[in-house]
Structure formats: C-alpha cells, structure tokens
A and B are shown apart, each in its own frame.
Chain A
Amino acid sequence: MPSLGADMEAGTVSQWLVKVGDEVHRGDVVAVVETEKSTIEVEIFESGTIAEILVPPGKRVPVGAVLAHVTSGAGHAANTVPSVSTATPAVPRAPVVTAAHAATVDAAISPPAPVARRSTVHSPVLRHLAQELGVDLVTLTGSGPGGAVTRDDVEKAGGRRGDGTRRRGRATGKPKSVPPAELQPVTRVSSSPLARRKAADLGIDLSAVRGTGPHGSVIERDVRLAAAPALPEKAGPGTTVADDRAAAMRRAIGALMARSKREIPHYYLSTTIDLTAAAAWLEQANIERPVTARLVLPVLLLKATALAVGHVPEMNGFMIDDVFHPSEAVHVGVAVSLRTGGVIAPAIHDTGGLSLDELMTALKDLVGRARAGVLRSSEMSDPTITVTNLGDLGVEAVFGVIYPPQVALVGFGRVTEQPWAHAGMLGIRPCVTATLSADHRVSDGHRGARFLTEINRLLQEPEKL
C-alpha cells in the first residue's frame, strides 16, 4: 500500500485494474485505492507480470503492506507491488507505534527512583492534599525526582490508595493507617510560597496562622509575626537573640500598624461610662470569692465588649480584599504589653460565651503565657476584635490603631472618680473613658456610637454579664 499523502496511515483497495497473469509496465495504473480523503489511482514502478494479488478489493491495509507480487519479465525473483517490493526496510512505522515503543523503552531504562531526601518545599496542591489527609509534609519522605514528595507519597501516608486513583474519603483496597471515617475535612488555608518556605524554616504550623495577604492568604509577614512570640521556646540563652527578637517584633509591629494606618480609614469615638453599678457589683461578687479567684474590672469590660458585638456585628470580623467578612464567633483580642518591649493581642476564644469566672481564669492564663512567650498560634491569629486597656498606666483614654484585618478596637482608660450629674444632682462617681477605633469601610459613626452605647448599657447591669 503506497503512501498517498502526508497524513495517510492506511488505505482500501477499491478496485484492481489488472489480474494475475497480466503484463504490466512501469507507470501503469494497476489499482484504485481509497483513502480517508480521496480515491487515487495507483501506479506501478516495476515492469513484469502480475504473479499474485494479495489484498482483495474492499480490504483496508496499512501503508507499506504488500498488495501484489510481480514477476519480472526475465524470470527473476518475484517482486511485490508497488515498489515496496524491493524488500526495502523503509516501510513506515505509524507514529502511534513509534510513540508506544519509545514509551516502553523509556520505562525499561528508567533508573530506579532516587534515594529519597527531605524536601521542604511543596506544591500548593500537595499541601492541600496533605492537610486534607492530615499528613505532615515536613516529616514525609519523598519518592519523586530529587526526593520531592509526590501526590502518591501523601496519599500513601494519608492512607489513601497509592495507585494514583483519587477517592475522596472512601475506603477501598488495603487497610489504612487512618480509618477513613476519621478523615476530617480541613478548611484550606491559602498561603504564599514564600510564607510556606519561611514556615518550614521556623517550624511554624501554617494552618494556625491568620492570613493578612490577598484573599486572606498567609504571607511571609504573618509567619514572622506568628513566630515572634514563639521564639523564646526555641531560642537559646543570650541577649543577642532577645535583642534580635525585640527588634524583629518592633519591625513587625511597625509594618502592621503602618499598613493599618495606610489602608484602614479609622474613625474614633469616645464616651465616658459611669461604673458605679459595675464597681458595686464587683465588690459584692468578690466578697464570696477566694482571693485567687477574685474578678477584676477588665473582665467586665471584656465581657461587655464581647456581648455588645452581638448588637453591632460590623465591629467583629475581617476586611479582606476590600470585602468585609463578619465573624460569627467573638474572639476578643487582649492587648498585652511584653516586658521585652512590644505588644501583642492574643485572643480569648469565644469571649462572650465564657462566664465571668471562666473569663477571669482565661485572662490571667493568657497574659501569663503571652509574657512567657508560650502562646498558641491560633490565639495569635483568631482575634475578631481587640480590646486595649491602658488604665493601669494612668492614661484616661486610648485611641488605638486597628489590627488588620480586624475592623475595630475598643480602648479603656484609667478608672477615675469624676463629678457626675445625675437626675439633676451632682455627685462623685467612678468613671472610665471608652473609645472606639473603627474601620469606616465597614461602619460609620452612627453604628460606632450604637456600639459604645451598648457597652455602656451592659456595664450598667453587671449582674447580667
């Protein structure tokens, strides 16, 4: 079967124009062949006699197949038709065959998988899969090129079939180290490649870092920030480390606050709250408590703030890519100044849901651990609103800078006795100035005022807190 076009792989003899015994001359048309594109007359390149026809009309054969034999006039050995006859090895291989052949050879000569080595950088899809399956990539040994961790490795480690088939959360095949029922879907945390590299270097668990980058992704700065308070655990003795840490923290705070001031259109409100009722209630409440369990005023302020958020949800949540994402949970961040310098604002989880006693315990614990540098990363990443209380230090009011991506910060100053007019009478009452710094992209003064008023109202009924 002659090649009759650049893309021809096979053809069908539709008609023989010669029969056995016919004499043929070079250039004679001997058959008609149909290809995918057209019908072509096939000529012969040999002269002689048709000895045998091998391919009957209607039969499809690949290019290079022998169609007929021709005996040359002088009784020489049989030739085939057309010129493929001359037993030339130049019969084309169909490209498909060539490709398959090449693939087999490749597979056969491929060296065994290289000795695995630990890889600290992983593609986003692997990280995602690893999270989904609860696999720790850092400790995983890779079997891919250069010791890279492959999807197969993760799936194996995560108990999924290692045959490359994807089965989400369903058990098939061999027993698994993690029963499928225990595979909890993990919310995916996006993080930048650089952040991942940094997290791997610092040993930070990315899933617990709050992202402030595009689309809420964790970026390198977030990792540094999350790492800062955790450093004392790892760092050895020596002032250099501490100094470095302090300097690093100062830079981190600087960067974050600069960003806040650059990006967040702050507005500020303040109100003075009469604490007579709260102070009286506190005094009463502490009478019944042992000294170690006594409540302090900031606990009431925290609780009131957490509950007030329920009425003005625009104060609680995150601004990501110019879109406000309100948070259902209320995790009030508490600004804690560190003895080494700097300030951090870890969260008390579900602040509004805790009783005052629980809150007191949580606050003491948190402040203690913050100063000891043993915070959990989720505490660093989870605050939905922040409270800062500088009353201890003697100032009357604090107009704070919002922690991005949060949208509000409540400040309390020193509790002072103030002349206070009430029902036409002037008296002396304990008061505190409460301030609000809020993000004008999310709320405006009207809502902010409502929020401060609500805090005030709640503090007037401390027994209900």
Chain B
Amino acid sequence: MSTTTYREAMRQAIREALISDDRVFLMGEDVGHYGGCYAVSLGLLEEFGAERIRDTPLSESGFVGAGIGAALGGMRPIVEIMTVNFSLLALDQIVNSAATMLYMSGGQFNVPLVIRMTTGAGRQLAAQHSHSLEGWYAHVPGLRVLAPATLEDARGMLGPALEDPDPVLIFEHGGLYNVEGELADDAGPVDITTAAVRRPGTDVTIVAYGGTLRTALTAAEHLAADGVDAEVVDLRCLRPLDTATFVASVARTHRAVIVDEGWRTGSLSAEVSARIVEEVFYDLDAPVSRVCSVEVPMPYAKHLEDEALPQVADVVDAVRRLGA
C-alpha cells in the first residue's frame, strides 16, 4: 500500500499501457509539452517521446477521427479530450463513425479506441467546462462508457479498455484528480463490465457514479448516524449498464435514490430509475427518487454552483422522504 492520487493512478495506468504495448500512443490537446491540462500526462513526453505522446491542434473532430483511423490501422490509441464539453466538437466522429463502423460494415471493421475526457462541475468553471454529458454517450450502442470513481478504477480501467476491441469512453470527474488515498502497490486491471456495491446496507439503495459516489458515501455515513443503513452502488460502467447489481440491491432494500450530476431530464438517472421500475416494481416500498443537478447551465459563482449540484444534504433528505 502506498498513498497516491487519482491523477497519479491514471498516469501510472497510461505509463503501463505505453510500456507494455508498442501500439499504444496518447494523443490530445496539450498532453505533451504542457503535461496535460489536468497534469495527468506530466512527464510522459520526456519518457516516451513526441511520436507516442502526441500534441494535437485544437481539432477535436480531426484528432478523434484520426484516433479512429489509427485504431482501424492497427494501433491502440488513447485519445484525450480536455472536457466533455469539448467532446461535442467530436461528436460526429464518436457517434457517426466509432460507434457505427463495426455494425455498418457487417462486422468487418472494429474500432479499438480509448477516449478519455474530464467531466463534471464543482470547480467554478461555469457553463462550458462543467457539464456531465456522459449520459448522452451512454445512449449510443456500439460504445462502452466507463466512469472510474475510485483510485483502483482510475488505475485499473484503462488496461482492459485498451484490450476491448471496440471503442471505450472513460469519463474522469474533474473533482477527483486530487483525491488522495491508499492504493495497493500491485493494483492492476479491474473488471469493466459490472457495477460495484461500495457500501452494503439494508434500508435504501443509493445509486451513484463518478463524482457523485463520494457524495453518496458521505450521505450514507450521515444516515447511519440516524439509524438508516444505506447501501451504495457505484455504477462504474455507464454503458452497457450492469442492471443486475443495482436491481438486486433495490430488491433487498425496497427503496432507491439515484444521484446523478447530469440534468434530470433524459438522464442516466432516468434510465436507472426506469430499469428499477421495470425489473423490481413489486419490491418497491416507495417511489424511486432522484437527486440530479438543477436544470441550469452551470453558473460560475460558488454558492450558485453548490446549489445547482447534488449535495450530501440533498441525498440525505431524499432518503428521509422515502421513509427509510
């Protein structure tokens, strides 16, 4: 065990991939000379050179498309997009090309590409750097969408993602990079197909992912002090969703609160809620409840941003309203 950060865990994962597979290279805006806009790739240019730590122009569609082409051409690219908001400039390539190529070609051309990007709010970056749009990508067949929320996942998801023959999107919540914790020295690949129960409990299931996992876990501690034993499920894989894990949890606890930093309307939380109702309706002892971001473009001012985001108190309150 040693103390590390989410950022460092991610960097180690990239390093390991670069060392173990010549086909892997990292490409994106400011990944090289700048060291990565969130410093994830700091030092990698010096270690691996400019061919493999490839600075790109500000051409999201161009370099994401180039990543797809390189994947088709036998490489294993890791493409970094600064934030999910910028990824919209590459939406065409991700949705129209990466996700469709295998199907359109009748199974001939798979796209083994990994795209990493930052998501989420909480750092006063306002309305063009703060949104949680991973749910949009989770809508698209042909993509795998991951949201590492722990150090283990930050360290362990990239390897299996690179081994996946199809495109994988990894969403790193910007509020997590500085999170410190203990990580086993031999931490390695983790499963990228299932959700995880991060805290067992009996009275209510709180479903969260990415940046909201910590909110959910903190809320669970508050609730425990009041005698409410909450189970916390970390979705981890946003597509394909591991329905079985959260549905089984709700079947045990009979109550569900979903915490999603995305906007409520048409959100991932809506999908989780629908699946709970579809699968375990007769086990529910209360309506499914959701805690999402307020439906506004993210404001800059701290107090407004706080108000817009799901907070621990909101989760606690939602659980109490369910009568747990």
Contact = CB atoms under 8 A, between A and B. Distances in A.
Interface of A: 121, 192-197, 212-214, 217, 219-221, 258-259, 262-263, 321
Contacts of B322: 213-214
Contact of A258 (B227, B321, B323): B227
A121 B227 contact: no
Contacts of A217: 286
B80 to A, nearest CB: 40
B249 to A, nearest CB: 15
Best-buried of B285, B286, B287 by chain A (most CB within 10 Å): B285
A294 B306 CA distance: 66
A194 B283 contact: yes
Interface in B247-287: 254, 281-287
B226 interface: yes
Contact of B285 (A121, A194, A258, A263): A194
Given A194-B254, A214-B323, A219 B226 contact: no
A321 B281 contact: no
Nearest to B254: A194
Nearest to B287: A214
A34 B108 CA distance: 41
A220 B254 contact: yes
A212 B322 CA distance: 10
7 contacts: A121-B282, A192-B287, A193-B281, A194-B284, A194-B285, A213-B322, A219-B285
B123 interface: no
A221 B227 CA distance: 16
A219 B320 CA distance: 14
Interface in B263-316: 281-287
Q: Which 9 A-B pairs have the closest CB atoms?
A: A194-B285, A192-B285, A193-B282, A213-B323, A220-B285, A193-B284, A219-B285, A121-B282, A193-B281
B285 A321 contact: no
A258 B203 CA distance: 14
B245 to A, nearest CB: 20
Interface string B72-104: 000000000000000000000000000000000
Contacts of B227: 258, 262
A190 to B, nearest CB: 9
B223 to A, nearest CB: 10
Interface of B: 226-227, 254, 281-287, 320-323
Contacts of B282: 121, 193-194, 196-197
Contact of B286 (A121, A213, A259): A213
**Mostly helix, strand, loop or mixed at chain B's interface?**
loop
Contacts of A321: 321
Contact of A192 (B226, B284, B320): B284
A192 to B, nearest CB: 4
Nearest to A197: B282
Given A192-B287, A220-B285, 6 more contacts: A194-B282, A195-B285, A197-B282, A213-B323, A220-B254, A258-B227
A217 B323 CA distance: 10
Contacts of A214: 286-287, 321-323
A341 B25 CA distance: 72
Contacts of B226: 262
A321 B284 CA distance: 18
Nearest to A215: B287
Nearest to A258: B227
A381 B287 CA distance: 22
Nearest to B283: A194
A399 B286 CA distance: 32
A194 B277 CA distance: 12
Best-buried of A212, A214, A259 by chain B (most CB within 10 Å): A214
Best-buried of B227, B282, B287, B323 by chain A (most CB within 10 Å): B323
Nearest to A322: B321
A237 to B, nearest CB: 32
A262 B226 CA distance: 7
A277 to B, nearest CB: 45
A193 B323 contact: no
A54 to B, nearest CB: 41
A219 B323 contact: yes
A195 B284 CA distance: 8
Nearest to A191: B285
A167 B275 CA distance: 33
Nearest to B320: A263
A394 to B, nearest CB: 32
Contacts of A219: 285-286, 323
B251 to A, nearest CB: 10
A210 to B, nearest CB: 13
A121 B321 CA distance: 25
A214 B321 CA distance: 6
A213 B322 CA distance: 7
B242 to A, nearest CB: 23
B221 to A, nearest CB: 16
A192 B286 contact: yes
Nearest to B228: A262
A213 B281 CA distance: 16
Contacts of B254: 192, 194, 220
B159 to A, nearest CB: 42
Nearest to A255: B227
Contacts of A121: 282
Contacts of B285: 192-195, 213, 219-221
B16 to A, nearest CB: 47
Contacts of B320: 263
Nearest to A254: B227
Nearest to A190: B287
B79 to A, nearest CB: 35
A291 to B, nearest CB: 47
Contacts of A194: 254, 282-285
A421 to B, nearest CB: 46
Contacts of A195: 285
